[in-house]
Amino acid sequence: MDIAEIASLVGDDRVHARCYTDPAIFELEMERIFRRTWNFACHESQIPKSGDFVTMTIARQPIIVARAPSGEVAAMFNRCSHRGSIVCREESGNAPNFTCPFHGWVFRCNGELAGIPYRESYSPEFLAQTNLGLAPVPRLGRYRGFVFVSLSAEGVPFESYLAPLKVGIDNLLDRAPEGELIADNGLHRYAYKGNWKHQIENGIDEYHPPFSHASTIKDGKQMARAYGSEGFHYTNKNEKSEDVGRSHFDHAEIHGFPYGHSYLTVADRSRVADLKVPSYRELLIKKHGEKRFAEVEEETFITNCVFYPNFILRVNNNIHLRVVRPIAVDRSEVWVWPLRFKGAPDDMSEGIMRYANVHTSVASFVQTDDLEVFERCQEGLNAQAPEWVWLARGLKQEKPGKHPGELVAQGTWETGMRAQFRYWKEMMTQA
């Protein structure tokens, strides 16, 4: 596929349906986006002790991230250097080393080769090679417990990639009474017959909730999700949101950035429920003092940070990490880890889990209908006409933001998706 052809698939206000349905494009995305940019891999609270590991696939490749005895975090391919078996089947655990089941080669938890059975049959030259360990993932980036990897030695530096969305991570950690997040509270995992982009776009789609999630609205109010929350009104009294020109969610903002990133802000302050839990509030005031606490409260304005291409960080209420794993052009898996703050009162953490179960579980009130809609999109996009998917809401009405290349938009505008496709085009047109 030549560069001009790929470039022709993305316009300012539209993208071609082939971006979601063409297997050749999907293969190119793996190579030019997922393998070249940064992918979220894990949170360090999932591997606190020496020998702790997690496994995953990134761009469909098997990867291990482990805590070495030195305390360092190591990321390597889960692929025996001998003849290719994966050396670890578990999704998480603790192991002093990884032993290949095939012929017994042993690797340390930082990937170094520890032993080869019956080694006399190998020549000294062969054994002198330094590349017989598990191959390291080319680049690893860590920021305040968040571990990202890049499968390419070259490309955008981690610092630059992270810069636009650091604010979300920083705010989360400012709200942690002991300055730490825990991402080891079980997880929700689901699959759908649809392209990975449906999920990553959904992280900043505030146009859809009144419609896709109509079944969660009773008497004009969203069903209560958080403990003690009343559920908020979607619309002004006596108005159906379909009938008014402006959605409740337009009180929120979308910020679009370079590298395909975006974040979404809260539609109104009453939706930042967690800071109102009295026992938790007291802890934070004790940690920060009244003045700084007031600032932290003010800085708590982000709902979702969407790190392109595979990671959504939920920054308030049902805080969580959500990773999208592309499997095929029309199949994706998503893993969602609810977060809690270390040292936060149990009732608050329980509230987060409760919210997670009704929001991101595959049997929840919300995710179920998103998944159904993703699958309907995938089916619909097989139509030969129209060729285009419109991403025109709020086009050219945005205001510039503080960060270079930042665009600030109303909540329901498709500014986030446009940011994603700008970077998509930039990456996909580099041979």
From start to end of 248-395, where are the E strands? 253-256, 262-265, 302-307, 311-314, 320-328, 331-338, 340-341, 388-390
SS3 288: helix
The yes or no reply on residue 370 touching Fe ion (CB under 5 A) is yes
186 binds, among ligand FES, other proteins, Fe ion, none (CB under 5 to 8 A by kind): other proteins
Rounded CA-CA distance 157/405 in Å is: 17
SS3 265: strand
Contact 234, 391 (CB under 8 A): no
Per-residue burial over 96-111, b if 16 or more Cβ lie within 10 Å, else e, is eebebeeeebbbbbbb
The yes or no reply on residue 373 touching other proteins (CB under 8 A) is yes
215 binds, among Fe ion, other proteins, ligand FES, none (CB under 5 to 8 A by kind): other proteins
Q: How far is CA 354 from CA 2, 62, 228, 315, 357, in A?
A: 49, 32, 11, 16, 5
82 binds, among ligand FES, other proteins, Fe ion, none (CB under 5 to 8 A by kind): ligand FES
Binding range to ligand FES, per CB under 6 A, among 17-25, 77-85, 153-161, 385-393: 77-85
The yes or no reply on residue 206 touching Fe ion (CB under 5 A) is no
Contact pattern for Fe ion over residues 314 through 353, marking x by CB under 5 A: ----------------------------------------
Contacts of residue 10, Cβ cutoff 8 Å, sequence gap at least 6: 16, 19, 421, 422, 424, 425
* Strand partners of residue 334: 190, 324
Given CA atoms 346, 145, 38, 249 in this order, what sign does their dihedral have? positive
Of 144 and 331, which has the nearer Cβ to other proteins? 331
Contact pattern for ligand FES over residues 83 through 102, marking x by CB under 6 A: xxx--------------x-x
* Among 27, 72, 96, 103, contact with ligand FES (rule: CB under 6 A): 103
Total binding residues for other proteins by CB under 8 A? 38
Binding range to other proteins, per CB under 8 A, among 74-82, 233-241, 260-268, 335-343: 335-343
Cβ neighbours, 10 Å, residue 138:
14
**Chain residues in the site for Fe ion (CB under 5 A):** 370
**Chain residues in the site for other proteins (CB under 8 A):** 185-192, 212, 214-216, 218, 223-224, 333, 336-338, 340, 346, 349-350, 353-354, 356-358, 361-363, 365, 368-369, 371-373, 376
**Chain residues in the site for ligand FES (CB under 6 A):** 80, 82-85, 100, 102-105
